[in-house]
Amino acid sequence: QVQLVQSGAEVKKPGASVKVSCKASGYTFTSYYMHWVRQAPGQGLEWMGIINPSGGSTSYAQKFQGRVTMTRDTSTSTVYMELSSLRSEDTAVYYCAIAPSSAAFDIWGQGTMVTVSS
Amino acid sequence: NFMLTQPHSVSESPGKTVTISCTGSSGSIASNYVQWYQQRPGSAPTTVIYEDNQRPSGVPDRFSGSIDSSSNSASLTISGLKTEDEADYYCQSYDSSNHGVFGGGTKLTVL
């Protein structure tokens, strides 16, 4: 079955970077764009950006421009999201998601908790 | 910037019908499909409505979606409310750059 499995929880200090992975299985990796969405504790969902696993092209939400980098490794069917210059407000659960059959994000990873604390 | 605005919370009794609105800030909400997600604590969101009014298999027909161009809004209606429907609900669409946009979420309480 189609599955997205993310890397484990991270604790980082302010100013550091974090790299979260999302390994896809059960489908042709290059078939669907991968989105990243985050959710701060008790807050709503926030779209961060998108990567085309086929060519590697990316597009980021303006809020994260200059701080986020999304990459992919087609040999392992894995997408990465790196966020730099971390601050406490970046404490959140980070999700990868795909929209395989419609406009909806139907398949989500399990989420990765990133805590930014000194 | 295109934004979607939802009420912070709604509440209704079991068996009743509730409607959650999602209003677009600019342009026409009908220009891009609207999706609705249900999220329970500690879990990833799941789709309850996609492409304005389509229901995924497995979602009860108590859930329905609609678009009202006159008010530039989308709506999620849940009829025959059950306690299990208590959750957070998010609308989602895309802006002119094809970037995803989420509403702020609505906490549904079934009491």
Tens digits of pLDDT across chain A (118 residues): 999 999 999 999 999 999 999 999 999 999 999 999 999 999 999 999 999 999 999 999 999 999 999 999 999 999 999 999 999 999 999 999 999 989 999 999 999 999 999 9
pLDDT at A39: 98
Per-residue pLDDT band for B28 (boundaries 50, 70, 90) equals confident
**Consecutive H or E run containing A61:** none
**Chosen from A45, A52, A70 to mutate, greatest number of chain B CBs within 10 A:** A45
Q: Helix or strand or coil: residue A29? A: helix
Contact B103 A46 (CB under 8 A): no
- Three-class secondary structure of residue B19 per DSSP: strand
From residue A62, give the alpha-carbon distance in Å to each of A66, B2, B99: 9, 12, 10
For chain A, list residues whose CB is within 8 angstroms of any CB belonging to chain B. Answer: 35, 37, 44-47, 49-50, 59, 61-62, 95, 97, 102-106, 108-111
Q: Which of B51, B97, B103 sits opposite A102 (nearest CB)?
A: B51
